[in-house]
Chain A
């Protein structure tokens, strides 16, 4: 086990590298797979020193469910925001800042939360407070800033906490 973890210090990164290489070449021939495996072993070994405090590997099953949920939300929010952009005059848009207090502590999880917020149309994450305790989000059209923050915490942050912490 120790030998294995020395050869593959970061199994998930290795898996992602192998899959990305095969996708880049766009084939599954033997040569491609062998080269992808070589890269999947070498790159994590060479870069291990530059990522000292890496988090424990996330729970893959829940992460997959989370990605599917986010894609679904992106599709729905796209339609909602398209409607707002096309039909509502500028003066009637209730765009404002929303402050989201964070329960997450892992930098990687916070980065994914911020990315999720930006990708779902209607909200863009703008900044993090200097102590990492809350996130500044700009909403295009929202009635109540606190409700919006609660919704995001309930829908995304709770799941990310289960995945990463």
Chain B
């Protein structure tokens, strides 16, 4: 029993010392790829499963933050481990983080106008939500258009 444990320990230490930095980087890359794939998958499952437009809007935020983030992290680790480093990926992430909320905001405004969402609570302190505060000329129902 004890000999078995010692043999296992020796094998583990041998495995650890055989790991080169490049191999560790490869393992890290694979882990990051799996994490990215998982969160992109959960985002897609969410799109299929959730039942109202406003709830569905929550699904892509996962795919576009941690999903893409992990994939870009994998790309960076791989680039640094094998030759020339690359930091392009930081920029992709930054642009994604700046633009993703804008599209989510526009989609939710469309949902509000189509009355595809729960009725909104009135804003305390102001007269209306900005989306509904339109010029009288815009007060047309879709049929009239």
Contacts and interface: CB of A to CB of B under 8 A. Distances in A.
**Consensus secondary structure, chain B interface:** helix
B87 to A, nearest CB: 6
B129 A130 contact: yes
Chain A CB within 10 Å, residue with most, of B55, B117, B120: B55
Nearest to B54: A138
Nearest to A133: B125
Given A75-B66, A78-B62, A131 B55 contact: no
Contacts of A140: 55, 58
B101 A131 contact: no
A97 B90 contact: no
Interface string A69-104: 000001100100110011000100101110101000
Contact of A85 (B42, B86, B104, B130): B42
Chain B interface bracket (under 10, 10 to 19, 20 to 34, 35 or more):
35 or more
Contact of A23 (B49, B87, B133): B87
B12 interface: no
A131 B61 contact: no
B130 A127 contact: yes
Main secondary structure of the interface of A (DSSP, over half): mixed
Interface string B45-81: 1100111101101110110011001000000000000
B126 A133 contact: yes
Contact of B125 (A86, A90, A126, A131): A131
A136 B88 CA distance: 35
A71 B19 CA distance: 31
A120 B65 CA distance: 8
Interface residues of A, number: 39
B57 A133 contact: no
Contacts of B125: 101, 129, 131, 133-134
A19 to B, nearest CB: 9
Interface of B: 38-39, 42, 45-46, 49-52, 54-55, 57-59, 61-62, 65-66, 69, 86-88, 90-91, 97-98, 100-101, 104-105, 108-109, 111-112, 117-118, 120-121, 123-131, 133
Counting from the closest, the 7 A-B pairs by CB-CB distance are A129-B123, A129-B126, A126-B108, A131-B126, A118-B101, A133-B125, A130-B133
